[in-house]
Amino acid sequence: MKNKSQGINTLCAHAGELKDTQFKGAVSPLYMSTSYAFEDVDVKRYPRYFNTPNQVALAKKIAALEHGEAALIFGSGMAAVSTSLMAFLKSGDHVVLQNTLYGGTSNLVVEEFERYGIAFSFTKDLKPESFEAEIKNNTKVIYIETPSNPLLTITDIAAISRIAKKNGLVSMIDNTFASPVNQNPIDFGIDVVIHSATKYMGGHSDILAGAVIASEAHIDTIFQLAKNFGGSLSDYTVWLLERSIKTMGLRVKAQNKNAKKMAKYLEKHEDVAAVYYPGLKTHPDHELAKSQMKGFGGMLSFELNEGLNASLFQKELKLIKASMSLAGVESTILSPTLTSHALLTPEERAKQGIKDGLMRFSIGIEEVEDLIEDLEQALVSLKQLAN
Ligand SMILES: *Cc1c(COP(=O)(O)O)cnc(C)c1O
């Protein structure tokens, strides 16, 4: 399936597209039917079976983008995460997970796994040895997420894949933050790649969706559960997502460029205590990031100096919106202490390296000079308020 002859923007624009043979229209026709006549072959088309024309076409595009054999499209990123994990885990099994995961994923594990009799361990840090140390006789899955949220830490994808193969485990990665434009984990030996397509694939903050990419065999295992769990995406949204992905390469490359400029600007700023961006030479895992990423992404975080209030800072921003979501064409910012990590105690946050002045920044496609100007005026107002 790996298509080495075509570049990312060509794949985004064309891979998997449906042909309009009737009217020769430029875009994939949309087939909204939930009922299809039985065919001679043994295929019953039905949206919850993930096999309508639009679902199959978009799965082909996403599989091509991630250099995988096959894919499934889900109704949300969490439907993709939960179905993938549960497909390879049963009562009595154990899973090793990275300690810094998307909040929804750690909630799924911590709140739901016990009653299914599935044991789990979170690693103490991101070193490959720390993953290996948690493996038990009944471990079946190893699960990572890189770059991570909100501190943009980097996990060694190739090393984790090797550990998984050596121990006969299924390796899974949440590749949402990087997007398929910047990182293709299957090239580094990962078995199952998961995306919240709500983020860079959708890219316009108007679609909730998820995707899983893997070998035909692994996708079939996931499908057997997925059709029973019922987490498929409506064909209309599948069609919209296909349209969004056409510009993903352009968007993400613009976001990479903006984020790098922004990180360099923030790094020199007197009001900023720290910047976390894997594209900076000062990032502790910059070399590792360079070895497995083609671009460093549109996500970064930074710490305001002590005494500068995150909540007031957000309020002073005019162009950049304070918002929970990320990866849209518009820049958004949030304080993890006030939102995603608000339920943790200050000690738990400190343990994860999350200070009160930390801001998670999703860089959009605006002109970076305009974003910098907005930050400047917000910092000036903030300091005036403080005095
Ligand atoms: C948003 C997100 C998810 C969950 O996706 P939904 O589409 O909101 O269900 C999973 N992982 C990461 C890294 C995310 O950012």
Confidence of residue 37 (pLDDT cuts 50, 70, 90): confident
Order of strands across the sheet that contains 299-304: 272-276, 299-304, 358-362, 332-334, 321-322
Residue 147 preceded by cis peptide, ω within 30: yes
pLDDT score of 172 more than 90: yes
Q: In this model, does residue 273 exceed pLDDT 70?
A: yes
Check if 206 is active-site: no
Q: How far is it, in rounded angstroms, from Cα 218 to Cα 220?
A: 5
Q: What is the DSSP secondary structure assignment for residue 160, as one 8-state letter?
A: H
Mean pLDDT of the chain: 95
Within a 10 A sphere around the Cβ of 351, how many other Cβ atoms?
Answer: 11
How many C-beta atoms lie closer than 10 Å to residue 322's C-beta?
17
In this prediction, residues 49-78 reach a mean pLDDT of 98
**For 378, which DSSP code?**
H
List of residues 6+ apart from 30 with CB closer than 8 A: 54, 235, 236, 239
Query: Is 199 in the active site?
Result: yes
Which CATH number fits the domain 253-386, given the four candidates 3.90.220.20, 1.50.10.20, 3.90.550.10, 3.90.1150.10? 3.90.1150.10
Minimal CA–CA distance to 208: which of 361, 34, 324, 339?
324
The confidence score (pLDDT) of residue 387 equals 73
d(C-alpha 273, C-alpha 247), whole Å: 35
The pLDDT assigned to 386 comes to: 75
What sign does the dihedral 75-120-175-190 (CA atoms) show?
negative
pLDDT at 285 over 60: yes
Per annotation, catalytic residue among 174, 271, 285, 374 = 174
Instruction: Decide if 226 contacts 49 (C-beta within 8 A).
Output: no
Per-residue model confidence (pLDDT) at position 41 = 62
Atom of ligand 1 nearest to the CA of 326: 15
pLDDT tens for each residue of 192-238: 999 999 999 999 999 999 999 999 999 999 999 999 999 999 999 99
In sequence order, what are the beta bridge partners of 196?
210
For the CA of 325, the closest atom of ligand 1 is 1
Q: Give the model confidence (pLDDT) of 148-168 as tens digits.
A: 999 999 999 999 999 999 999
Question: What DSSP character marks residue 18?
Answer: P
CATH of domain 8-245: 3.40.640.10
Res 44: pLDDT: 86
- pLDDT of residue 115 exceeding 60: yes
**Can you name the residues that pair with 262 across neighbouring β-strands?**
none
Ligand 1 atom, smallest distance to 197 CA: 7
Q: Domain residues of the chain, as ranges?
A: 8-245, 253-386
Q: Is 308 helix (H, G, I), strand (E, B) or coil?
A: coil
Q: Are 204 and 244 in contact (CB under 8 A)?
A: yes
pLDDT at 3 over 70: no
Q: Where are the beta strands (DSSP E) in 284-387?
A: 299-304, 321-322, 332-334, 358-362
Q: What CA–CA distance (Å, rounded) separates 161 from 387?
A: 53
Q: Looking at the predicted structure, is the pLDDT value of residue 144 above 70?
A: yes
| Of 102, 143, 200, 277, catalytic | 102
Cα(135)–Cα(139) distance, integer angstroms:
6
1 has pLDDT over 50: no
What pLDDT is stored for residue 5 in this prediction?
Answer: 72
Confidence of residue 385 (pLDDT cuts 50, 70, 90): confident
pLDDT at residue 38, rounded to an integer: 81
d(CA 134, CA 294): 30
Give the rounded percent of residues in the chain with a pLDDT score beyond 70.
Answer: 98
- Percent of the chain past pLDDT 90, that is, above it, reads 90
**301 — alpha (psi -120 to 50), left (phi > 0) or beta?**
beta
Residue 174 appears among annotated catalytic residues: yes
148 Cβ inside 6 Å of ligand 1: no
pLDDT of residue 294: 98
Residue 102 annotated among the catalytic residues of the structure: yes
Read off the tokens for 86.
């549960």
Average confidence (pLDDT) over 168-179: 98
d(Cα 20, Cα 27) in Å, to the nearest integer? 7
Regarding beta strands 139-145 and 94-97, do their DSSP bridges make them parallel or antiparallel, or are they unpaired? parallel
